[in-house]
Structure 1
Amino acid sequence: MEYLDFELPIKELEDQLDKCQIIGQESDVDVSSTCKQIEQKLEETKKEIYKNLTAWQRVQLSRHPNRPYTMDHVRALCGETFLELFGDRGVKDDKAMIGGLGKINGQSFMIVGQQKGYNTKTRQYRNFGMANPEGYRKALRLMKMAEKFGIPVLTLIDTPGAYPGLEAEERGQGEAIARNILEMIRLKVPIISVIVGEGASGGALGIGVGDRVLMMENTWYSVISPESCSSILWKSWEYKEQAAEALKLTSADMKRQKLVDDIIPEPLGGAHYDRDTTFKTVEEYVMKAFNELKDLSTEELVAQRMDKYSKMGEYNE
């Protein structure tokens, strides 16, 4: 297990507990009471740390290397039923954007999401979860296919942003994202979006227009990352913690501003501490959202979606 800087008190107590248990196993000394005291202290410390997380600490948790990525969720939700589909039928297959058909609780879904890598090699292969225009065009192709066959769409968002390279701009990155937003607004099947990690900028919004938008508890959703915001406003990354607070990017902030519909709770310590519980909770919330949408007519579905997004934000005429 890897620990973040604010989790070091937990690491120290877990190390103490391990040593205590080893002593009990290797000697005749009864250390059960000591171990119980350490376990109690460990539980109290975890609760104290995780109930008072700052916005920046939640950003750190959303990037935790042990956190479940999109394909982890897909495998847990769909098992062997997931059939991955490839290519945008124009340029190539973007490995940062995955998509395909799968069944969750017996219900078919077209699943689309960004996938990060697990190590240096796979991170390069997946372009760190940053999709090119062909990734967004692949996503749109699959969503239009789902519309044709009346299959609901599930999008899983986890990206530091769309790829900002010169080649991506030459191939129409902005147009691809804008096209996705336009087409998703009027898609004639239910769309459920779940932010499972980072939800940064247009890279997230390109697959994030949904009838129900759900955020996992320790994720973030914002027009810009705290580091980039800090570098623009203060000309340095040193103020990323202040930027995170100012951006109001946590799940609680997003729910308060009515930009997302619900928050999916995570186990104490984050999704990586208890993956099985995390996957079961995500499934429950996805199916709950689908059951709320499945009986709506096409006209009601599109009208409610358009009305939802037209009401967002404050403006003066």
Structure 2
Amino acid sequence: MTARPVLSIVAVAGLGLLGACSATTGSGAAPAGPAPTSVVVQRQAVAQNTTKLVAAEVAGLGQVLTDENGRTLYRFDKDTANPPASTCDGDCATAWPPVMATGSVDVQGVDPALVGTVTRSDGSKQVTVKGWPVYRYAKDSAAGQAKGQDVGGLWHALTPGGGKAASAERQTAINTTNIPGLDTVLTDQNGMTLYLYTKDTKKPSKSNCDGACATAWPPLLANGEVAVNGVDPKLVGKVTRSDGSVQVTVGGWPVYRYAKDTAPGQANGHGVNGVWFEVEPAGCKVAEGKKPLTSSSSGAAGADPGSASY
């Protein structure tokens, strides 16, 4: 009487072993029980371990990078690309989840040579594009959203080339205005005075103002085609910066705004450290002997203690 249950248990165990063996070796007909399930699980595991970088159009930004779910990807100005380093941990990484390289990285519309990884402070591996660590934004809840664009002036949607995506609120423009003491100078689409940096080069065009310099002197980035008014269009061009963004040039010189100019008509950057000057319509610097009559005294015609050596 006691032998029958024992035989039944052995039989069931034998079936279980047979099923596991069949699923492992693939020999013979697959049983209708657990084998198909184990195959599905394996496929799901492979999919979950594949990170995707996809170039896609996002309204208001043009072509940017998205993940496998269509969510916009971002870069952080406080990180560095050379060498790659992430400075977003703790609460920052909760708001801006890093894109982790837990398996293979699949790219669509992205040069694979630009894609790499960086080791974070916790030892995990984060995906990089042209050296920049890549993030999502927790407040983007659906594909096509880009709520993280320009947050704090530090977060920007990532272009396929690793640069910053430009918001489409207003087209970049080169205009002219008259500033007493300086005569006719160039301004951007918002009427803010434009400058050139004599430590840059104009032939070939090259910007040497990055990092803290670019914070004090924000480069005028090209948002779409550049509208030109009062300037020979042949003098207006573009140059790719070290971070992959595209800066406007005039006469070959990369052009900038000055953070201490807070309203149109100001020219507080005139002559700062002897290397920053307004730009004339011909693409040349305003003469050093000239002096703006309408700007505040801070930063005008002399060294600016807040701008280091630039």
- Scaled by the length of structure 2, what TM-score is found? 0.20
Richer in strand (by share): 2
- Scaled by the length of structure 1, what TM-score is found? 0.20
Larger radius of gyration: 2
